[in-house]
C-alpha cells in the first residue's frame, strides 16, 4: 500500500511541478522569486505581483491534485502535500529555493 501511495504521489509531484506549469514556475524559480515549502506548496521568496500570481496559480492546482490523491488513498491532504514536497524538493535543480526545517530559505 505504501509503495502504491508513494508511486501515485511521485507521479503527481512530477505532473504538478513540471509540465502544467513549466514556463511560469520554471521562470519564477530561476529568478529566485518562488521556492518550495515542506507542505507541498510554493511561496514567494521575493514577494511581487508576478511571484504572487505564480504562487496562487500553482498552489490552487496542487491543492486540487492533492485532494484527488487524498480521496483515492484515504490520506489527509496535509500528508499528501508533505510526501509530494519531499519528492519535489529532492528533484529541484541547483539554484532553486526551498524552506528549510528552521523556516528560512535555502538555496539548493
pLDDT at 1 over 90: no
> pLDDT of 71-94, one tens digit each?
999 999 999 999 999 999 999 999
**Cα distances (angstroms) measured from residue 53 to each of 3, 13, 30, 46, 108:** 34, 20, 16, 12, 23
pLDDT at 108 over 50: yes
pLDDT for the residue 36: 98
Q: Which carries the bigger pLDDT value, residue 42 or residue 3?
A: 42
What is the pLDDT confidence band of residue 33, given thresholds at 50, 70 and 90?
A: very high
What is the pLDDT confidence band of residue 107, given thresholds at 50, 70 and 90?
A: very high
> pLDDT of 11-23, one tens digit each?
555 545 444 443 5
Q: Which helix (H) or strand (E) holds 106?
A: strand 105-107
Degrees to nearest 5, angle at CA 44 with 38 and 32:
100
44 three-class SS: strand
pLDDT for the residue 45: 97
Q: How many other CB atoms are found less than 10 A from the CB of residue 38?
A: 15
Amino acid at each position: 500500500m505504501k509503495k502504491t501511495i508513494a508511486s501515485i504521489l511521485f507521479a503527481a509531484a512530477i505532473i504538478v511541478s513540471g509540465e502544467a506549469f513549466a514556463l511560469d514556475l520554471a521562470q519564477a524559480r530561476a529568478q529566485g522569486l518562488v521556492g518550495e515549502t515542506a507542505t507541498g506548496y510554493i511561496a514567494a521568496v521575493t514577494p511581487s505581483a508576478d511571484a504572487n500570481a505564480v504562487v496562487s496559480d500553482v498552489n490552487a492546482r496542487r491543492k486540487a491534485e492533492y485532494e484527488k490523491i487524498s480521496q483515492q488513498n484515504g490520506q489527509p491532504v496535509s500528508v499528501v502535500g508533505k510526501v509530494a514536497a519531499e519528492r519535489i524538493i529532492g528533484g529541484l535543480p541547483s539554484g532553486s529555493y526551498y524552506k528549510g526545517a528552521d523556516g528560512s530559505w535555502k538555496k539548493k
